[in-house]
Chains A and B, each alone.
Chain A
Amino acid sequence: MRAGAEGEAVTEDELYPLLKAYEGRSATAPGIGKDPVNEPMIRHWCEAMGDRNPAYEGPDAIAPPTMLQAWTMGGLSGHTGRTGAHDKLFALLDGAGFAAVVATDCEQEYLRPLRPGQRIDFDSVIETVSPRKRTKLGAGYFITTRMEVRADGELAGTHCFRILKYAPAARSKTRPRRPRPVVNRDNAGFWAGVAEHRLLFQRCASCGKSRFPWLPGCGGCGSAEWDAVEAGGAGTVYSYVVIHHPRFPAFSGPGADGSDGGSMPATGRDGAGPDGTGPDTAGADRASADGASADRTSADGAGSGEAGAGGVVAGGARPYAVALVELAEGVRMVSNVIGVPYDRVRIGMPVRLEFTRADEELVLPVFRALRPGAG
């Protein structure tokens, strides 16, 4: 397997036998269906599915066979009768970084119809744990559980369920980059300054009026003569907006989300910071993206697992503030305010210039709030 070819073999070797030891172990202690088979749940199901099959109505109604698993679900309150084996297996995987989960296969056999009034009980076994596989979603292990569902004590159906427990693939490579600035002869001086971590504005050589952004002529007197002046770096938030929607992952990375990201003092040096990754790039990639729907054994309390994985990609989805910053020299420029949550940016907030590296080839001026959380 390819996964073993890149230094992961040790981890794999250590983890897999531990996982495999759970094969054949009981995943749930004998579970009891929270509700007996009943007409209201059948009707709600049929309404949702648009299923008008008369076999599911009336005095001789049967439950739609495909509801089999629904009778075993823990619902919002979760199951209580789970064995430690399942929890331990999942904790082991969560701890090793395989925290996300998707359902991939469901195979059900219906031995007898379920009818209103019948009591449901079930148990399930961890059948197999696959060796580590590489998937589009990331590396992970397929776990197959097999459940037997009984109605009034008689076997009514079997339910084989396969999930993938995986470590979401790093998406930083596919995260969209911020748009490239358009550099032309009128503003090349500005970008040359930024590359040197200097913020330059123009001052008219004729009338002395400062201007930004860069333009070929003076808006006051029309003179085409100008000098480049380096800003001291002090400024205040003159106005701002917060972008909630639509989300542009490219703009939500370091320096745009209030985090420290990869920004550095104007005098500092490189060190690209942790990169938020863009969830939207997941897009069509998310084959098999059913989120572990059914296996409630995974759901209760495993939210933490999924959230942990989700946190990795959440950076790209946050709202971010775009501010119009008035420099001490009087000119104003549009930029990001960092070092403060997007919802704590305020007009009049003092800020100080920094430079942030958006990616390997783009450096941008940004402004750090001097009183984080002020307001």
Chain B
Amino acid sequence: MSMSMSGTGASAPRVGDELPPLTVPITRTLIVAGAVASRDFQDVHHDAELAREKGSPDIFMNILTTNGLVGRYISDHFGPDAVLRRVSIRLGAPNHPGDTMTLTGTVVEAEGDTAVVRVVGANGLGHHVTGTVSVGLPGEAPE
């Protein structure tokens, strides 16, 4: 299949297709910018001192940012016409500054104009996020 990141050239997804991985450096800036852009002012997402007082070694990414990155990963691949229908994620190991998260995806269902992608985001500690995304592909009308 095409590895086009614009998605415009991607052919119809098939079960078993693997999406090209997306590597996301987990910077302090990303964590804070994501928290603020999602209007999440919990101190553990921007204040390292207070995060430590609550038992975390440093600040960590909030779930909304993870959700946003997962959505971006899918739409980066399938293109601007793709429609996100459902995103379901579970968090595991936290994303701390200095780590790197690599998102990978596998198509687990493909029927008509809908594909379901199983997504895993792995960092240095383990799986930060696992989940599934259901995406509509208007260009892939039922044959």
Residue numbers of A with Cβ under 8 A of B are 41, 44-45, 47-51, 53-55, 64-67, 69-70, 73-76, 100, 103-110, 113, 168, 171, 247, 279-280, 282-284, 286-294, 299, 303, 306-307, 309-311, 313-314, 317
Contacts and interface: CB of A to CB of B under 8 A. Distances in A.
Q: In which size bucket is the chain B interface?
A: 35 or more
B1 interface: no
Contacts of A50: 24, 72
A106 B89 contact: yes
Contacts of B71: 49, 51, 64-66
Interface of B: 24, 30, 33-45, 50-57, 60-72, 75-76, 80-81, 83-94, 125-126
Contacts of B62: 103, 290-291, 293-294
A247 B57 CA distance: 10
A225 to B, nearest CB: 51
A247 B64 CA distance: 30
B103 to A, nearest CB: 12
A45 B57 contact: no
B55 A288 contact: no
Contact of B42 (A54, A65, A171, A299): A299
A183 B80 CA distance: 69
Nearest to B75: A53
Contacts of B36: 44, 48
Contacts of A104: 90-91
Given A66-B70, A290-B63, A293-B62, A49 B57 contact: no
A303 B44 CA distance: 11
Contact of B84 (A66, A75, A103): A66
Contacts of A303: 43
Best-surrounded residue of A49, A51, A279, A294 (most CB of chain B within 10 A): A49
B112 to A, nearest CB: 18
A48 B26 CA distance: 12
Contacts of B72: 49-51, 53, 64, 66
Contacts of A113: 83
Nearest to B81: A55
Given A49-B72, A69-B38, A286-B57, 9 more contacts: A50-B24, A53-B76, A103-B63, A106-B87, A279-B57, A290-B62, A291-B42, A294-B38, A299-B41
A109 B37 contact: no
12 contacts: A51-B68, A54-B80, A55-B81, A69-B64, A70-B64, A76-B41, A279-B53, A280-B57, A286-B56, A286-B57, A293-B42, A293-B45
